[in-house]
Amino acid sequence: MEVMKAANEHEAAGNHVLHLEVGEPGAGAPQAVLDAAHAALDSSALGYTEALGLPELRRAISAHYLKNYQRDVAMERIVVTTGSSGGFMLALLAAFDSGQRIGIGVPYYPAYRNMMIALGLEVVTIETGPESRFQPTPELLERAGHLDGLLICSPANPTGTMLRGSEFDAVVQYCDRHGIRVLSDEIYHGITYGEAAETALRYSANAVVLNGFSKFFCMTGWRLGWMVVPDELSGAVERLAQNLYISAPNISQRAAIAAFECEDELNANVAVYAENRRILLEELPKAGLKDLAPADGAFYIYASVSHLTNDSSDFCRKLLKETGVAITPGIDFDAERGNAYVRISFAGKTVETKETASRLKSWLA
């Protein structure tokens, strides 16, 4: 957000800025979603909904699991939330007591840690690196000491890496054996460049899944997400939702029902990310950025800049000032090693991605 502010100021001063700092899709919601929102405005008083969400939307999400993951997820286990961010608050509150120890793999999406601290949970950081594709492993968990919970994200932000089949299974099985509740952030599902992402529901009935409409569905500002919760947590989650926010936005819920019918349009957006990714993976090494995390999914490349700087914030500031390219310093995602990394988002237009590659190449030359 600080980088975005600096980038906007640089732009307001008359400079042309290429925004590769943002973590949101360049495209807006699909047309059928917009049409459904207009229809909802015309036909409904848009009052509160049930705290768990509109039954029609929960049914559509249940059908999404059957179609895309071949999993039968009863709609009673599905909770509609105010973005996956809202889901995280509910999940952390329902599943843990203050003082409990929750593991997160580093680097991580910074809000996880901030939410946990705000709720009085103890954050246990688990350093991951290229040898485990920046994802936790049972060995790393073993070294972390006692854990009550583990938050995983696949595909991940900032690295884009995925926990694949047997690796995912091993981590979740380890957690089940040790009574560690898994929270699985699946917000980047649908945006992958090889194998499709698996859901933690495949490996454990105890996992809490967090997902939403912000990334694949291109509905960031509609503030809508969902969780899949084990039966024993659903009562607590329902009461928390009733008390904390009553219901997720009614209009967004009505519109989102249509989102599941828009796969062609949404997959066309993913094809744009795939082309942007291809360009960057080809061009960044020519600019000397050769050490890149495997960008399995999401729309980020996490690149080492250790040969160029020991201060990634300063590096990003200079890059913005001298070339107009805005990217995010790794220090946001990893307090210890992040000065050696930057995150480059490729969720924008292909023409901008090409221009970025060309500016980076001449700047770093």
CA dist., res. 212 & res. 219, Å (int): 9
Environment class of 182 (CB within 10 Å of its CB; exposed 0-12, middle 13-18, buried 19+): buried
For 213, what's the count of Cα atoms within 13 Å in the CB-facing half-sphere? 31
Cα 186–chain centre separation: 7
185 binds ligand PLP (CB under 6 A): yes
Give 157 or 204: the residue with its C-beta nearer to ligand PLP: 157
296 binds ligand PLP (CB under 6 A): no
Q: Report the site for ligand PLP in 157-176 (rule: CB under 6 A).
A: 157
154 binds ligand PLP (CB under 6 A): no
Give 21 or 323: the residue with its C-beta nearer to ligand PLP: 21
212 binds ligand PLP (CB under 6 A): yes
> Of 36-44, 83-91, 170-178, 314-322, which part binds ligand PLP (CB under 6 A)?
83-91
Among 128, 184, 214, 312, binds ligand PLP (CB under 6 A): 214
190 binds ligand PLP (CB under 6 A): no
Whether residue 228 contacts residue 208, with contact meaning beta carbons closer than 8 Å, is answered with yes
Alpha helices in the chain, H assignment, sequence order: 2-12, 31-43, 55-69, 83-95, 110-118, 138-143, 165-177, 231-244, 250-257, 263-283, 312-323, 350-364
Give 90 or 153: the residue with its C-beta nearer to ligand PLP: 153
Among 83, 136, 149, 324, binds ligand PLP (CB under 6 A): 83
C-alpha distances in angstroms, 283 versus 23, 287, 296, 350, 357? 21, 7, 17, 13, 6
23 binds ligand PLP (CB under 6 A): yes
Among 49, 62, 84, 353, binds ligand PLP (CB under 6 A): 84
CA dist., res. 222 & res. 248, Å (int): 10
Least distance to ligand PLP from the beta carbon of 286, Å?
28
Please report, as ranges, the residues that interact with ligand PLP according to CB under 6 A.
23, 83-85, 109, 153, 157, 185, 187, 212, 214, 220, 225
